[in-house]
Structure 1
Amino acid sequence: MLYHDSYNTLLIFIAASMNEPPVNDLQILYDPQCPACKAYCTHIQKTLPNIVTLQSARTDSVLLQIATAAGLNLDEGFVVHHGDTLLSGAEAIHAL
């Protein structure tokens, strides 16, 4: 988890540079070309349709830049983002 102040600064800077609003809801950054990842993430989104937003790790986005800046390796699993928390791999699966 990143410190709250530095995380918010990073989030606002990246969002402003990409002309996107800051990320606020529960988001999953995943590889849609991975069959297991796609099936799992699609199931989670169907289970929590008004809460979860899926983001492709193959498309540049604020969340992808945040995960990359935080040093998370997307080859090791997907990333869950909520508030000021970033989780990846087994921690992300456990949180969901």
Structure 2
Amino acid sequence: MSTVYRAALIGIGFLLVAATASRADEFAIKLKPGPGAEVTQTQCAACHSLDYIQMNSPFPKRAVWEAEVNKMINAFGAMIEAEDAKTIIDYLAKNYGS
């Protein structure tokens, strides 16, 4: 095996390890436990990272979370049923609101 080939394989190996490690961090975000946490996690994480919720709290009041959830549905096309949307808004307002 040539030195160049071996160096290339080692480099690719390092890149794979680094990519795996950084990707693992994305799943480390845990929402606060409580009624609605599972629905919120399932619905919100279908389109974006859950760190969005943590980064923006505790600033939003209920009306802001309601506007955000409605924006995800109406502007971005999130397929969230009305009952789930209410559950998500209630959960976010209680656990990540001001």
TM-score range, shorter chain: under 0.3
Please report the TM-score for the alignment, with normalisation by the length of structure 1. Answer: 0.26
Please report the TM-score for the alignment, with normalisation by the length of structure 2. Answer: 0.26
Task: Give the helix-richer structure, 1 or 2.
Answer: 2
**Between Structure 1 and Structure 2, whose CA radius of gyration is higher?**
2
Task: Give the strand-richer structure, 1 or 2.
Answer: 1
